Chains A and B, each alone.
Chain A
Amino acid sequence: MRLPRFTLAVMAAALFSTPVLAERLNTVPAITNPVVKKECGACHMAYQPKFLGASTWDKILGDLSHHFGEDASLPPQTVDTIKAYYDANAGDSLPGLLRITQQSWWLMRHGGVGHTRFAAAKSKANCLACHKNADKGEYPLD
């Protein structure tokens, strides 16, 4: 049974490499760039760069007119400013999954959060509904 063991090893690596990162996620640097705060914080809280890798941010910022089913397009110069900020302050994430709420560390940390709390928050991506200082980069355990 060589293949399953190999697959397991890969899965374990993927699992353990991201929680290492998540250890340090109860506080992440707050966003200081006013353009990012304004433009990326209008429809939802502006998500801190540390939660995703630079290549994932680049994918998100490369297609703002099809942004999770919404048109979030901006003038090219504004996108450049935002991209530079996210790239310079990015964290790590495996390529492929665009959402923070799809990352394995996020799913693990939120596995115990009940449906009613998520329903009240309207969306998993509404971090502020449960983490009242999320916009300051604070996600303490309760």
Chain B
Amino acid sequence: MPIRTLLTCTLCLSFAVVLAPAAWADQNSAGRAAVLAAYAAQARKADANFTGFSAARGELLYSSRHLKARRADIQACAACHGADPTKPGENARTGRPIDPVAVSANPKRFTALENTEKWFGRNCKEIIGRDCTALEKGDYITYLQSR
């Protein structure tokens, strides 16, 4: 192989190695921004005075015990997702490990609306006893994005 081709190849490859993770990271943040934008639009529709999501409210939602939970032994999001969201959680019913939900520990979190909707749908009903509002969903993601 001529030395020039070899050099170009090596150069290309090193670029790919350096740039690809950056491109993925971008895709993840863009995906998450789109999810948050969708919830913000819904929140604004529900309340014209909506000014933004709050990580503090999200933390409360995440860590509090909700007395309307369907099972008396599993009353908080943290029961499965862990008191420390940067660490792996564990499904309190089945024992199956769950990847961390803090974005710093798991950058792929909350990057697809279809997926977040499916799980908010299941878990809010299970733990809070009703559907979460768009405001609550945005707060929850905003909190875990800050962790």
Contacts and interface: CB of A to CB of B under 8 A. Distances in A.
B49 interface: no
B126 A70 contact: yes
Contact of B94 (A71, A74, A126): A126
Interface in B98-145: 118, 121-122, 125-126
Task: Bin the interface of chain A by size.
Answer: 10 to 19
Nearest to A45: B96
A44 interface: yes
A125 B122 contact: no
Contacts, number: 35
Question: A interface, by DSSP: helix, strand, loop or mixed?
Answer: loop
B122 A123 contact: no
A129 B95 contact: yes
B93 interface: yes
B64 interface: no
Contact of B96 (A43, A70, A71, A73): A43
Nearest to B119: A42
Nearest to B92: A122
A72 B118 CA distance: 9
B14 interface: no
B27 interface: no
Nearest to A129: B95
Given A71-B125, A122-B93, A128-B96, 15 more contacts: A43-B91, A43-B94, A44-B91, A44-B94, A45-B96, A72-B122, A73-B122, A121-B95, A122-B90, A122-B92, A122-B95, A123-B94, A126-B94, A126-B95, A126-B96
28 contacts: A43-B91, A43-B93, A43-B94, A43-B96, A44-B91, A44-B94, A44-B96, A45-B96, A69-B70, A69-B71, A70-B93, A70-B126, A71-B121, A71-B122, A71-B125, A71-B126, A72-B122, A73-B122, A121-B95, A122-B92, A122-B94, A122-B95, A123-B93, A123-B95, A125-B94, A126-B94, A126-B95, A129-B95
